[in-house]
Amino acid sequence: MSSTKFATLPAPPYYAVIFSSQRTQADGGYGETAERMEQLIVTMPGYLGAESLRGPDGFGITIAYFDTEENIRLWRDHAEHADARMRGRKEWYSHFEVRIAKVERAYNLATVQKA
Amino acid sequence: MSSTKFATLPAPPYYAVIFSSQRTQADGGYGETAERMEQLIVTMPGYLGAESLRGPDGFGITIAYFDTEENIRLWRDHAEHADARMRGRKEWYSHFEVRIAKVERAYNLATVQKA
């Protein structure tokens, strides 16, 4: 089980890349690559934060937040990330879904209690 | 650890309610209420599906998908759900973030392999 905690984000609008995935049993290089991607994404322009969980059955949800669609494309087109995704498709994931969404509204426990 | 698997969704656009939360230690009625909400949400107009994970440290991500913002409001305003959220704010969650997002694009392993 790996897990991150709450992303601290600016006021909307911004974009979410919702990545749901099922890991295979194949582990060759997965951990190192995942760690490298975590180091790399924080250096990308417009990256705002991420929240991530993976369960013991290998099902995971990662949501990465960016300021604009253009910066999501820059991350998609980063050569190391593109290589990692290709390995992911071939080896590490038996299925995944990617959904690109524009966050329009946001609130949290503190803002609800003030309201 | 509780987990659902992939939601089967129509082509975009549709809406995502992204709920990230940290559970408290308080368990009074949480499990029963969570189960009741799962039964209730599938009866709501425009509900499309959900993906959900919670880790052993109590951090969780649930994404519920609806066809329109209006149907998200109907779910928010359902009396039983409103009561459950009030108990959640007071007892079950030490923190949460809610983000309402419009899904504009989506793809998955199969569509990438065909492309």
DSSP state of A58: S
DSSP state of B41: H
Strands (E), chain A: 2-3, 14-23, 47-54, 59-66, 93-108
* One pLDDT digit (tens) per residue for chain A, 115 residues: 455 699 999 999 999 999 999 999 988 999 999 999 999 999 999 999 999 999 999 999 999 999 999 999 999 999 999 999 999 999 999 999 999 999 999 999 989 887 6
Residues B79-95: pLDDT tens digits? 999 999 999 999 999 99
Between CA B71 and CA B64 the distance in angstroms is 12
* Whether B18 and A63 lie within 8 Å, measured CB to CB: yes
| B41: its two tokens | 């949400």
pTM: 0.95
Complex ipTM, two decimals?
A: 0.94
Residues of B in contact with A94 (CB under 8 A): 109
